[in-house]
Amino acid sequence: MARWIQSRRRSVPADSGRHREDEGGQEATATSARAGDSAAVAGSAEGAGSESAADAMAAGDTRLGALREALAGIGTTLDEGTTCTELTRLAVRLAGGTAAVVRRTGQTVSGYESITGDAGALPDARWATAAARDAGTPALGAQREPWLEYAGPSRTRIALCAPLTSGGDGYGVLVWARSGQPLRRAEAELLSLLAERAASHIRHARAYASVNRTAGDLQRALLSEPGRPHPNLDVAIRYLPAGGGVLVGGDWCETVRLHFGRTLLVVGDVMGHGLEAAVDMSVYRSSLRYIASADLPPHRVLRQMDDIASREPDLRPATCLLARVDPGRRQVTLASAGHLPPARITSGGETSIVPVPVGPPLGTGLGGYESATHPLGAGETLVLFTDGLVERRGEDIDRSLERLSAVRFPGGGGLEDVLDTILGRLDVRHAEDDVAALACRPHSRQGPSADAVSP
């Protein structure tokens, strides 16, 4: 059996059940007292009356402070599930019994969630589900009622359903139940207040989640896949954004096919984090693809990229490392715009840092880039990376590169194994910056089927 209890905006006085037969006489007496006709009455009001009023105010302030402190425990995060759990735990702590939430998203209604207490004490879930569907949508012309009361067939178990509504939208209901003692109005009003507070935080949590989804869609659009290298070069790439709220930041990797079996490898790092850095990263990436198609030496590619970026006042500076790999000649040509040098791993598993002339970051307009060529034979691995891979707070960058140089690799491992080893040994899970890493390994083309070798 279910019935809506009409809400009352004002509290009911303690003596509201008494007959007011002498109401007029009481008003006359009060008027006489206010006029000062009885000094004894006035003195009594100044004494015991004022003292009891002060005590009542003090007690009221204490209760209000405790309630305010309790309400602060709801909505401590922007996670909707956490807010629902905080709501049910506080409801049970203040009113006892068992509490649960039935959430509503559009026309979809869940079952009991975030249960605190004995789940067997809760009423039939169909009753709560129906209430959740109706929450926030009263009949036309009807006054919104603050809660729905339920009584089982034996009336030994009571339950209350308080809607989670905020801003005219319904997000479900708070369901509270206990056995034995009848429901008091003060308890119903308290639970309704808790539900109202939780609904406000759920509304903010859903708005925040919606913004995150939109940002994620935009970031996925910016995170285009690198190009395919020549079949004579194996490549593996890893990207790990800093923090769990973003998909891509300012770090990026790229591969561009050049003539005569050569491949240009690129690793870049736009200053800053998040969506803004990702947008600028996309600009640099597009510029690189356009310029690299002319098959210029790496240092001239950087020079043109710097010229373009310096004419864009809102574009953030970026570091960049280019590696033009030529497996046929067994060599690699490097050029850097303020970027860290790559690491070379021999076929025996030894690691070393490859020196490269460093110019200023892109976007400064200073130019001054140079190239350097080094041997890179079949079976050797070249690893390009952004500074998030090695840099640690309070540590000198030379010391950071030494830690990478100290990593040893078992022979015969694939490129994915190489990246797994590096990320594990350098504890990248606790990195404070985005991490992008690209590993490549040239091999000789043998026979007409070599072009079918997958990168």
pLDDT at 6: 37
pLDDT at 123: 87
105-109, 215-219, 243-247, 401-405, range with greatest mean pLDDT: 401-405
Structure tokens at 211: 């913004």
pLDDT for 134 beyond 90? no
Q: Which of 375, 263, 281, 271 is nearest to 322 (CA)?
A: 263
Query: Higher confidence at residue 56 or residue 141?
Result: 56
pLDDT at 427: 85
Residue pair 92/175 in contact by the 8 Å Cβ criterion? no
pLDDT at 200: 94
Confidence label for 153 from pLDDT (cuts 50, 70 and 90): low
Average pLDDT over residues 341-353: 94
Tens-place pLDDT, residues 11-58 = 333 344 444 444 444 444 444 434 444 444 444 444 555 556 666 556
Q: Give residues with Cβ within 8 angstroms of 413, minimum separation 6.
A: 421
pLDDT for 383 beyond 80? yes
pLDDT at 404: 93
User: What does DSSP assign to residue 142?
Assistant: P
What separation in angstroms does the CA of 405 have from each of 111, 314, 409?
Answer: 55, 37, 11
Residue pair 337/319 in contact by the 8 Å Cβ criterion? yes
The torsion of the CA quartet 88, 92, 94, 95, rounded to 10 degrees, works out to: 120
Q: How long a stretch of residues is the chain?
A: 455
Confidence label for 139 from pLDDT (cuts 50, 70 and 90): very low
pLDDT at 106: 86
pLDDT at 420: 93
pLDDT for 186 beyond 90? no
Query: Higher confidence at residue 47 or residue 64?
Result: 64
pLDDT for 429 beyond 50? yes
pLDDT at 265: 96
User: What does DSSP assign to residue 22?
Assistant: T
Residue whose tokens read 């068992």 = 98
pLDDT at 140: 38
What separation in angstroms does the CA of 303 have from each of 57, 167, 314, 367, 369?
Answer: 76, 55, 19, 6, 7
Distance of alpha carbon 419 from alpha carbon 416, whole angstroms? 5
Average pLDDT, the chain: 80
pLDDT at 41: 41
Residue 407, sorted as left (phi over 0), alpha (psi -120 to 50) or beta, turns out to be beta
Cα atoms in the 13 Å half-sphere on the side-chain side of 185: 9
Query: Higher confidence at residue 290 or residue 272?
Result: 290
- In this predicted structure, which of 68-72, 90-94, 260-264 has the lowest mean pLDDT? 68-72
pTM comes to 0.59
Residue 110, sorted as left (phi over 0), alpha (psi -120 to 50) or beta, turns out to be beta
Distance of alpha carbon 404 from alpha carbon 351, whole angstroms? 8
pLDDT at 247: 56
Confidence label for 272 from pLDDT (cuts 50, 70 and 90): confident
> H-helix or E-strand containing 395?
none
> For 375, phi and psi rounded to 5 degrees?
-70, 145
Q: Is 24 exposed, middle or buried (0-12, 13-18, 19+ CB in 10 A)?
A: exposed
pLDDT at 223: 61
- In this predicted structure, which of 33-37, 336-340, 354-358, 377-381 has the lowest mean pLDDT? 33-37
Reduced to 3 states (helix: H, G, I; strand: E, B; else coil), residue 17 is coil
Sign of CA dihedral 308, 312, 313, 316: negative
Q: Is 323 exposed, middle or buried (0-12, 13-18, 19+ CB in 10 A)?
A: buried
Query: Higher confidence at residue 54 or residue 121?
Result: 121
Query: Higher confidence at residue 410 or residue 99?
Result: 99
